[in-house]
């Protein structure tokens, strides 16, 4: 199957402080459904270039120490800023705590979590931009069910191995990134039961029901075509 692709349009410039670094970036709102989520494209500064050059001159052991102690100076160029939603204090704290508890899964099944900051007087989380396409899009609606089931099951098993179940099972909370599924939005999570293999199968099948409907609609509308 083939589709046309769309990319974020960075429409405004934003500035904020993260730990010891002042960051300037162009920003795009994720969508009308998630207006509190912004995709960022960082603009390099003279200070950032100087710090980066100095880091490269350090011995490897000191470089590793610095990058661990001051992650703000070793950020990728594309990030996601997720702002606090009014009245969602518990969910915000839950998501932050969850990211901190599953560090080995960051960059594999989940985005990298860099930390909390203040943006325009509001709490916000700074995350890596995992890219890919969420499962509601035509771009991600081109997989055979068996292949998607395998990817979903692997993601669910990985999360459950850390005692985490994604509590908001919606297609747009799961992205196809390369040959795997990555999850976002950890505001609502809970602990799995004893049989995580069976539970992973159930969760994957649940999402596949919605996926089938989307895929059928995209085919009928001509948004995707069999090749």
Query: What is the reported pLDDT for 9?
Result: 62
Question: Does domain 12-128 match CATH 3.30.200?
Answer: yes
- Secondary structure (H, E, C), the chain: CECCCCCCCCCEEEEEEECCEEEEEEEEECCCCCCCEEEEEECCCHHHHHHHHHHHHCCHHHHHHHHHHCHHHCCCCEEEEEECCCCCHHHHHHHHHHHHHCHHHECCCECCEEEEEEECCEEEEEEECCCCEECCCHHHCCCCHHHHHHHHHHHHHHHHCCCCEECCCCHHHEEEECCEEEECCCCCEECCCCCHHHHHHHHHHHHHHHHHHHHHHHHHHCCCECC
**Is the CATH number of domain 133-221 1.10.510?**
yes
pLDDT tens readout for residues 107-165: 999 999 999 999 999 999 999 999 999 999 999 999 999 999 999 999 999 999 999 99
Query: pLDDT value at position 19?
Result: 96
Tens digit of each residue's pLDDT (9 = 90 or more) over 196-205? 999 999 999 9
**Would you state the pLDDT for residue 224?**
85
Query: Where in the chain are the domains?
Result: 12-128, 133-221
What pTM value is reported for the model?
0.89
């Amino acid at each position: 199957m083939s589709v046309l692709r769309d990319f974020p349009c960075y429409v405004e410039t934003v500035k904020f402080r993260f730990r010891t670094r002042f960051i300037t970036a162009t920003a795009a709102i994720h969508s009308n459904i998630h207006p509190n989520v912004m995709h960022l494209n960082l603009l390099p500064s003279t200070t950032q270039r100087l710090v980066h050059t100095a880091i490269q001159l350090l011995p490897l052991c000191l470089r590793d120490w610095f990058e661990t102690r001051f992650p703000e100076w070793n950020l990728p160029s594309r990030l996601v800023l997720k702002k606090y939603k009014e009245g969602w204090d518990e969910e915000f704290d839950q998501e932050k705590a969850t990211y901190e508890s599953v560090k080995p899964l960051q960059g594999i099944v989940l985005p990298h979590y860099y930390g909390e900051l203040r943006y325009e007087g509001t709490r916000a989380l700074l995350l890596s931009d995992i890219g890919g396409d969420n499962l509601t899009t035509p771009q991600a609606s081109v997989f055979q069910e068996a292949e998607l089931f395998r990817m979903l099951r692997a993601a669910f098993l990985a999360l459950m191995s850390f005692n985490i179940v994604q509590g908001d099972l919606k297609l747009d909370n799961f992205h196809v990134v390369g040959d795997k599924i990555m999850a976002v939005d950890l505001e609502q999570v809970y602990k799995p039961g004893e049989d995580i293999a069976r539970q992973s199968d159930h969760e994957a099948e649940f999402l596949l029901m919605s996926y089938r409907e989307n895929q059928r609609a995209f085919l009928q509308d001509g948004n995707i075509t069999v090749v």
